[in-house]
A and B are shown apart, each in its own frame.
Chain A
Amino acid sequence: MPGSVVGHEKGIDMPTLTVKPEKLIEVCTYLRDQQGKNFLSAVSAVDHDGYGDAVAGYFGTERGRDLNAPGSWGAAQTPEQPPKRFAVRYHLAHVGDGPTDRVRVQVWLDDGQEVPSVVPVWPTADWHEREQYDLMGVVFAGHPNLRRLIMPNDWDGHPLRKDYPIGGEPVQFTDAE
């Protein structure tokens, strides 16, 4: 599929395909119909805000990495910086005869950028996408029922984002004064 898959990585568990968001449906339909990936295991959104900044042992100095800084044990590695803030990763498998042949499809998104919903391809994506929308704030365009699933309907913010405060924030109650 020329032009759709922009990256391929072997990975320690399964291969990862990087796909342009606008081509996602096309690639997923191809994977389902031609490659037998009929089972969507999970949809996982990841927020990379501040990714790698707090890796203890990596202290950027003028000379480069200081591997002997406290906490590093000489083993710390800095990760590659992600191209965009959010990644949405779809874990696919083949269910039927033969091995599961797992594969991961990922798209990179900026904050506020929409990704097409894969509910037409795998109906099970319904709640998966609602959960990620609820907790991570990724908008799935074309989802038939994109509402909060886990948090209360009137909740502010998306708790799994890295910039969501931990502790110290006022507790939200429905109908509070």
Chain B
Amino acid sequence: MSTVEHPPAPVEPLFTPAQIPPGAPSKVDPPAGEDLITVNFGPNHPSTHGVLRLIVTLDGEVVVGLDADIGYVHTGFEKNFEQKTYWKGITYAPRMDYVAFFANELAYVGAVEKLIGIEVPERAQWIRTLFAELNRIHSHLVYLGTSGVEMGAMSVFFYCLRERDYVLDLFEMATGVRMHDRYPQFGGVAEDLPKGFYAECRKFCEMMPRRIDEYLDLLAGNPVWKSRYQGIGTISKEDAIAMGLSGPNLRATGVPYDLRRTDPYLAYPELDFDVVVGERGDAYDRFLCRTKEMYESVRIIEQCLDRMPSGPVMATDRKYVLPPRAELHTSMESLIHHFKLVTEGFRVAPGQVYYPVESPRGEFGCYLVSDGGPKPWRAHFRAPSFVSLQVTAMMSVNRYVGDMIVVVGSLDGVMGEADR
């Protein structure tokens, strides 16, 4: 007869929402007791999506205390923005959240455009919308692939990266680079869409929904996947709002908060798409929300291709917009404007602006303060990963260590963005 005592089973029944802990909301203090061990997960650990450090107190295999520590890829982006002219800032923005690079650029460029009050041509708005949605698919594919690897579903990773490569090919076609494209610029986009882009993009739109069907076939009904995901990291609507969750993490609880609807920007008010919401707010709903959002993104891209207006892709205000390259050879004024913009930048009237966009991870906001000079006085970014990682502690306690990995994965944090 075995006399081995098993560790206590998790006390909460399935689907009971996690509670915001007393004291600091993003940290659970371990109870006093013997036989508890404190383990350091990360900063370098395959399951932490970058360099997240979790200081975990364990009772057997059950997490009883957790304190998350971030800052291991802090690179001082906000300080850098203050040292660069507005123009040079565009290259910094996509490197924060390197998976949702386009959304970051949109937030920064949009904030500056709002400060200087420049009109963006309609065609540029539609092109931006198209790429914002391609980027959303890209980000969700990376999420799905990596969380598949964590569960041991290696094939999902390869399938997702196959389609991700297609998305990056489309980016390369139009912008010249696969990531960190610097494509949106103040007043529009850098260049018009190249020849052959529509055809390639339509091929993608035709192929992608079938591939999403495949992912769902593979995972949504899979008993292993369900048992690892359902009822893990459940959070209630009220707590999710109080803890500042946004994007698919919040929509999985049933709150239809989507900035594309609530704070319309770009061409979204004219587009027909559904906001995907979940019911229970567990890791499984977050997975379903993200996966089904890809269908909606494909729908948006198709509408963009069908209804893309013609016209210029760049504003004409030479105080803010670089003159076309060809003009530099013939026009003295263009040469001067180009020289001034590149060397000195442009001045922005004193003021402040907060410009949020719906990044694949949630509300990504750019807050800029101008003192009237050519550089931002202060740039601050509301990073959705930074906010959502706060709930790791409350979601993980009284669960097995393996479930903690699911919780971190399902929140879809990108550490480059959380630490900035």
Chain A bound to chain B: yes
Once A55-B372, A126-B24 are accepted as A-B contacts, the answer to whether A95 and B241 lie under 8 Å apart by CB is yes
Q: How far is the CA of A26 from the CA of B416 in the complex (A)?
A: 35
Minimum Cβ distance to chain A for residue B76 (Å): 7
Find the B residue at minimum CB distance from A32. B242
Identify which of B70, B83, B365, B377 contacts A51 (C-beta below 8 A): B377
Q: How far is the CA of A56 from the CA of B79 in the complex (A)?
A: 20
Identify which of B242, B347, B367, B369 contacts A57 (C-beta below 8 A): B347
Fill in one digit per residue for A73-84: 1 if any B CB lies within 8 Å of its CB, else 0: 101111110000
In chain A, positions 111-131 with a C-beta closer than 8 Å to chain B are 119, 122-124, 126-128, 131
Taking CB atoms, residues of chain A closer than 8 Å to B350 are 52, 77-80
Fill in one digit per residue for B373-405: 1 if any A CB lies within 8 Å of its CB, else 0: 110011010100011011000000000000000
Q: How far is the CA of A105 from the CA of B189 in the complex (A)?
A: 34
Q: How far is the CA of A154 from the CA of B392 in the complex (A)?
A: 25
Given contacts A144-B25, A151-B74, 20 further A-B contacts (CB under 8 A): A12-B117, A16-B352, A39-B244, A41-B244, A42-B382, A47-B378, A57-B347, A73-B347, A77-B372, A91-B382, A96-B257, A100-B263, A119-B25, A123-B25, A124-B25, A124-B244, A126-B390, A148-B71, A159-B76, A159-B79
Interface size on A, residues (CB 8 A): 56
B27 x A145 contact (CB < 8 A) = yes
Once A119-B25, A145-B24, A166-B83 are accepted as A-B contacts, the answer to whether A104 and B354 lie under 8 Å apart by CB is yes
A12 x B387 contact (CB < 8 A) = no
Which 6 pairs of residues, A with B, have the shortest CB-CB distance? A124-B244, A79-B350, A145-B24, A123-B25, A150-B71, A42-B382
User: Is the C-beta of A99 less than 8 angstroms from some C-beta in chain B?
Assistant: yes
Minimum Cβ distance to chain B for residue A94 (Å): 9
Q: How far is the CA of A145 from the CA of B68 in the complex (A)?
A: 12
Interface residues of B (CB under 8 A from A): 20, 23-27, 69-71, 74, 76, 78-79, 83, 114-115, 117, 241-244, 250, 255, 257, 259, 262-263, 319, 340, 344, 346-347, 349-356, 363, 365, 367, 369-374, 377-378, 380, 382, 386-387, 389-390, 419
Q: How far is the CA of A16 from the CA of B386 in the complex (A)?
A: 25
Q: How far is the CA of A52 from the CA of B347 in the complex (A)?
A: 12
Identify which of A42, A54, A95 contacts B373 (C-beta below 8 A): A54
Taking CB atoms, residues of chain B closer than 8 Å to A56 are 344, 347, 373-374
